[in-house]
Amino acid sequence: MLVNRKVLTLDEFTIQQLRSFPHATGELSNLLRDIGLAAKRVNVEVNKAGLVDILGDAGAVNVQGEDVKKLDIFANSQLVGVLSHGISCAGIGSEELKEIVVFDDEVSNQSKYICLFDPLDGSGNIDVNVSIGTIFGVYRRVSPKGQPCTKKDFLQPGINQVAAGYIIYGSSTMMVYATRRGVNGFTLDPSIGEFTLSHVNIKCPAEGRIYSVNHGNFFQYSDGVKKYIDACQKKTKASGGPYTQRYIGSMVADVHRNLIKGGIFMYPATLERPNGKLRLLYECNPFAFIAEVAGGKATDGNRRILDIEPTELHQRTPFFIGSSSMMDDLQLYINEN
Ligand code: P6P
């Protein structure tokens, strides 16, 4: 029986988007397709991580002082590889690399975009088969085209992103990305080896009943955050609950679930980490961009994440993201304490 299922691949979708902007150069479409290619290569290794000696620590330690798993290194090299050999990126910043990488060749210097990414977030979960992910954000460079990109290109507020997205390597492998026109999700179809459009124009529900936070740090949180968490636990059907607590320990998985179902994810400042744990440039900014395009909100507890002017490549920030109504509730507790 012929199945007449019109499947739109990532390539077809980006080209379709390009056709609706006659003056577009196609560079952003190329860059997104490059990231999709790297993700497919990472996916192959993630899926067999339990079978080959790619598990376990690579013996190295990254700029964050964290044990680096071999898959982190592999994912980083795949992204640097496709972007440096493409025609759409002048340079990158990565969680795995202390400094930016300026591609500085004639073609790359003509590119108008730079890219920041966390090549494999949640890598501590690799050995226990929990979903992990890649996170990326794309900016228009502020330095002149034709010259090598500079650090200033990477220290832009998140509101300047032209696109942001993530790949989640889970029960299926999905690439979700946002431009100002919307958020769309593509599920990898192994039968054709292509990301295919599966979640059109994703919107984050204004209300949600899922709250995600590490309760192990509860007594280190601010009074306002503690009182909000306490209120979540006391929600009843009559007061818009009951809420459920879900925390995977892999931000891509937690935030993806809350984006689709509604909910709030929190990684607050703690006594041990007064600036929070999560990185502004390549973890929080991309998700904040995605959340806002989808109708949600993202703050550091006081400021809109996308408004923060970065000063360092690997700076951290407290992070709250999710359904607009839940974020407004949280802000009331923070403001009152
Ligand atoms: P904790 C993974 O290491 C990560 O960066 C995020 O993906 C995740 O949400 C967070 O850290 C978990 O941190 O301190 O709760 O284990």
114-123 per-position pLDDT tens digit: 999 999 999 7
215 lines ligand 1 (CB under 6 A): no
251 lines ligand 1 (CB under 6 A): yes
Question: Which of these three, 164, 199, 234, is where a domain ends?
Answer: 199
Residue 331 neighbours by CB distance under 10 Å: 17
Minimum-distance ligand 1 atom for the alpha carbon of 252: 7
**Residue owning the nearest CA to atom 9 of ligand 1:** 251
Residue 246 neighbours by CB distance under 10 Å: 16
User: Residue 221 in contact with residue 272, Cβ under 8 Å?
Assistant: no
Q: Looking at the structure, do residues 17 and 136 belong to the same domain, yes or no?
A: yes
Q: Looking at the structure, do residues 167 and 232 belong to the same domain, yes or no?
A: no
Question: Which of these three, 168, 199, 230, is where a domain ends?
Answer: 199
* Gap between the Cα atoms of 299 and 309, Å rounded: 13
Number of structural domains (the chain) is 2
Which pLDDT score is estimated for 53?
53
**Residue owning the nearest CA to atom 13 of ligand 1:** 249
If you measure from the C-alpha of residue 11 to the centroid of ligand 1, how many angstroms do you get, rounded to a whole number? 32
Q: Looking at the structure, do residues 228 and 170 belong to the same domain, yes or no?
A: no
Please tell me the pTM assigned to this model.
0.93
- Residue at token pair 């689709």: 260
Residue range 205-224, pLDDT digits in tens: 999 999 999 999 999 999 99
Q: What is the CATH number of the domain that holds 322?
A: 3.40.190.80
Residue 204 lies in a domain: no
Tokens standing for residue 299:
């703050």
Which pLDDT score is estimated for 3?
42
Average pLDDT taken over every residue of the chain? 92
Residue 1 lies in a domain: no
User: Residue 254 in contact with residue 248, Cβ under 8 Å?
Assistant: yes
Angle 92-98-104 (CA atoms, 0-180°, nearest 5)? 35
Which pLDDT score is estimated for 240?
86
pLDDT 10s per residue in the chain (337 long)?
444 457 899 999 988 888 888 787 888 999 999 999 999 999 988 887 655 555 555 566 666 766 666 888 999 999 999 999 999 999 999 999 999 999 999 999 999 999 999 999 997 787 788 999 999 999 999 999 999 999 999 999 999 999 999 999 988 999 999 999 999 999 999 999 999 999 999 999 999 999 999 999 999 999 999 999 999 999 998 888 899 999 999 999 999 999 999 999 999 999 999 999 999 999 999 999 999 999 999 999 999 999 999 999 999 999 999 999 999 999 999 999 8
Residue 60 lies in a domain: yes
Residue 2 neighbours by CB distance under 10 Å: 4
Domain housing 248: 210-335
Which pLDDT score is estimated for 129?
84
Look up residue 190 and give its DSSP letter. T
Question: Which of these three, 176, 199, 222, is where a domain ends?
Answer: 199
